[in-house]
A and B are shown apart, each in its own frame.
Chain A
Amino acid sequence: MRRGAFTPYLFLAPGLALFAVFRVYPLLEGLWLSFTNARLGRAQQAFVGAANYARLLDDTRFHVSLWNTAYYTVASTVPILAVPLLLAVLLNRGVAMRTFLRGAFFFPFTLSVVTVGLTWLWLLDPVIGPSTYYLRAAGVPVRSWLADPATAMWAIILTTVWWVTGYYLVIYLAGLQDIPRELYEAAAIDGAGGWRSFWSITMPLLRPVFLFVLTGGGPGDATRTVVQHLYETAFQNFFHFGSASAMAWVLFVVILVFSLLQFRLLRGHTQY
């Protein structure tokens, strides 16, 4: 072997060790655990076949949480795609104070999920929250938005849009800057209006950006409700590591299929 052939592996070693021990190994161990009756504090575990998966078929709470996750994903997709896109297109029209504006929209993205949650719990408090006062003053009947199942999902989507819009805004702005100006100039010469060039130039050329936003390149925490259930199963109520691992793998496969579908859908669109 020639001298220096080991060099790349030496550079890779520390990182790959970290990755192998704390990412790859747990992933495989989780797959194994999902076929056992492992519990917190139990030293030995036995292979139980697909029993954990079979039990998930009857676990109505798991079904509800999976359904909520699917519902949230579908319902939140449009606002999470559209709100930052609208802002990015407006910001790209030569407005002043771009740095301030971008910063203001980006700021919530620096907050933790706990801080965001505390903020909106306080804002939407049905008794003493400020939103309650203003909505009442405007004649809107106030409910306990977060406790009522009919509105809780929308309150969460609103909160999430507030949280992540700035992040996607930055990505869209970068995508818009990469579109050559000549395309718009040529379109204008051919008599295309602003709306027409938006649909014929901006939207198709932003496709890679949509793909990034959709496939969870960002903080996409659509999995929250299932994760909540998983957490309770593993660490709060039952300490069933086996069934929690089975849930995790079902979730993983569902997400994978969903992402591949989205990928297909967007790829099958106009090609440039």
Chain B
Amino acid sequence: MSRAVRVWRVLLTGLLVIMAIAWLLPAVWVLVTSLKPTENIVRVPPEWIPWPATIGHYGEVLFSSSRTARIGRAFFNSIVVSLGSVAVVVLTSAMAAYPLARMRFRGRDLVFGLLVGSLMVPNAVILVPQYVLVQRLGWLSTYQGLIVPEAAMTFAFGVFLLRQFFLTIPSELEDAARIDGADPWQIFTRIVLPLSQPVLGALAIFAFRSAWNDFLWPLIAVNKPDMFPLPVALALLRGAYAAESYGPIMAGAVLSALPLLIVFLVANRRIVEGVRVSALKG
């Protein structure tokens, strides 16, 4: 490699690192704010080192805020709803994607076409009738009233993603198992699913993210403060504190970002792979 090329790469790396840090600054500012005592939050010029630091805002929003739904409770609700939705999505889409990738049957192309076509329908279009349906089922302000519609929202995408992956698995293994007398369910659970762990993981993360971050559906489907998931509770928190204090609001924002941040740090490559497969291998 010539010297000029090497110098150019170092400069380019430096430039991109500066841009990446700038990109992270808004998030850093949120974290810094959440750690400052109230009287230090509004300072001119802005202080980027939260010293003296406090975790008091975290304690307040998690446990003692009587003004709104407690963030601690909302955190628990979000975990239940997101994990529940992940379980439903992964199970139903894997089961549906398998015959679409591997079996020949009447109506296969129609079913697949309908599922892919449904990805074009904005969620807002079915907001009102979905409310009517969930109300009729008596599911307002319940976990199933959040889990099942969230799962239905991600199902078609999951089928699409998994089918693309199943198509890439060589079919010799399945043929061999079939000759040994395995039935389709055994082939599916003992051969196909274990081979698909990476893409199942990517789908799980995707489903978790979309359930964890959804705001509009829980906003209308839940009217008991005890059942609010995090995004709704956070929005209310802002209403309750107004501009009076950014500390607790920012602490709530950090808490709500934490689980996905951890998942993201642990499974960075897998998420990227999932996005890649879903977008380009169509």
A interface residue numbers (CB < 8 A to B): 4-5, 7-9, 11-12, 14-16, 18-19, 21-27, 29-30, 33, 38, 87, 90-91, 93-97, 99-108, 110-115, 118-123, 125, 128, 130, 133-134, 137, 162, 165, 167, 170-171, 174-175, 178, 208-209, 212, 215-217, 223, 226-227, 230-231, 234-235, 241, 244-245, 248-249, 251-252, 255-256, 259
- Closest chain A residue to B236, Cβ basis: A114
| Residue from A19, A91, A120, A122 in contact with B152 in the complex, judged by beta carbons closer than 8 Å | A19
Bound: A162/B23 CA distance, A: 7
B191 on interface, CB distance cutoff 8 Å:
no
CB neighbours (8 Å) of B44 from chain A are: 133
Min CB distance A6 to B, Å, is: 9
Bound: A19/B184 CA distance, A: 23
- Closest chain B residue to A175, Cβ basis: B280
CB neighbours (8 Å) of B64 from chain A are: none
User: Contact residue range for chain B?
Assistant: 35 or more
B143 on interface, CB distance cutoff 8 Å:
no
CB neighbours (8 Å) of A245 from chain B are: 128-129
CB neighbours (8 Å) of A16 from chain B are: 96, 111
- Interface residue ranges of B15-29 to A (CB < 8 Å): 15-17, 19-21, 23-24, 26-27, 29
B126 on interface, CB distance cutoff 8 Å:
yes
A114 touches B96 (CB 8 A): no
A174 touches B133 (CB 8 A): no
Bound: A60/B234 CA distance, A: 32
CB neighbours (8 Å) of A209 from chain B are: 279-280
| Residue from B121, B280, B282 in contact with A252 in the complex, judged by beta carbons closer than 8 Å | B121
B133 touches A96 (CB 8 A): no
Q: A171-B275, A226-B124 are in contact. Are A101 and B20 (CB under 8 A)?
A: yes
B156 on interface, CB distance cutoff 8 Å:
yes
What does the 1/0 interface line of B126-145 toward A look like (CB < 8 Å)?
A: 11111111000000000000
Q: A33-B132, A115-B256, A252-B125 are in contact. Are A12 and B95 (CB under 8 A)?
A: yes
Q: Which of A18, A87, A125, A252 has the most CB of B within 10 A?
A: A18
Min CB distance A247 to B, Å, is: 9
CB neighbours (8 Å) of B108 from chain A are: 8
CB neighbours (8 Å) of B115 from chain A are: 19
Bound: A114/B249 CA distance, A: 11
CB neighbours (8 Å) of B27 from chain A are: 107-108, 111, 119
B126 touches A95 (CB 8 A): no
B99 touches A248 (CB 8 A): no
A174 touches B127 (CB 8 A): no
A234 touches B127 (CB 8 A): yes
| Residue from A19, A87, A108, A217 in contact with B279 in the complex, judged by beta carbons closer than 8 Å | A217
A18 touches B246 (CB 8 A): no
CB neighbours (8 Å) of A103 from chain B are: 264-265, 268
Q: A18-B92, A90-B16, A113-B231 are in contact. Are A255 and B122 (CB under 8 A)?
A: yes
| Residue from B45, B95, B100, B133 in contact with A22 in the complex, judged by beta carbons closer than 8 Å | B133
